[in-house]
Amino acid sequence: MPKKTGWMVMTLSATLALGACGQAEQKTDSHANHETHATHTSADQLEQTTSPAIAPAFLKETDSSIQTIYLSVAKHQDLLEKMPCYCGCGESAGHTSNYDCFIADQTADGKTTWTTHGITCGTCLDIAAQSIVAYQQGTSVKKIRSDIDASYAKTGAKPTPTPAL
């Protein structure tokens, strides 16, 4: 395994522990009421940077693994736009994929509008980290999507309306 990929896998694997905590908490309530996500729409903050390689200032107060996920999401737009999110943000925030949990908009000239939604949700972070790590290990997009759906279908949560592959 190349040194750079190994570092990313280790960093994102640490994040999986954070995501697992969020997931366990959500499974306790059958992930049905999503009370904490009802506030996301009004509570999410947006920040624009001139490039997807420039992290938003709101990440400075977060764990480095969260910063790594955010910057990795910006590099994997095509992948994460194909991954659903199972936190309830499709209904509460109008998201259509896991990508929307981190980036609200990206223009052709690189301006990136980041959202704080992802930093507040272990499910969002976990899905992004799992998807990116699996993709970097050579797993097909279709298999990653299948694994995410199989994992989160057990929660009973409604996924974002991400188009079928």
At 8-65, the pLDDT tens digits run 444 455 444 444 333 333 332 333 333 344 344 558 999 999 999 999 999 998 999 9
The answer to whether the pTM exceeds 0.85 is no
Q: Quick one: pLDDT at residue 42? A: 59
Q: Is residue 71 packed enough to be buried (19+ CB in 10 Å), middle (13-18) or exposed (0-12)?
A: middle
Residue-wise pLDDT for 101-139, tens only, equals 999 999 999 999 999 999 989 999 999 999 999 999 999
Residue in the structure block whose two tokens are 């190994």: 6
From residue 145, how far is each of 2, 96, 121, 131 by CA, in Å? 25, 14, 19, 8
At residue 27, what is the residue type? K
Q: Quick one: pLDDT at residue 43? A: 81
Strands 46-49 and 103-106: unpaired
Q: Backbone phi, then psi, for 69, in 5-degree steps?
A: -65, -50
Spatial separation of the C-alpha atoms in residues 126 and 121, rounded to whole Å: 9
8 within 8 A of 67, measured Cβ to Cβ = no
Spatial separation of the C-alpha atoms in residues 111 and 140, rounded to whole Å: 29
For residue 99 the two structure tokens come to: 């990508």
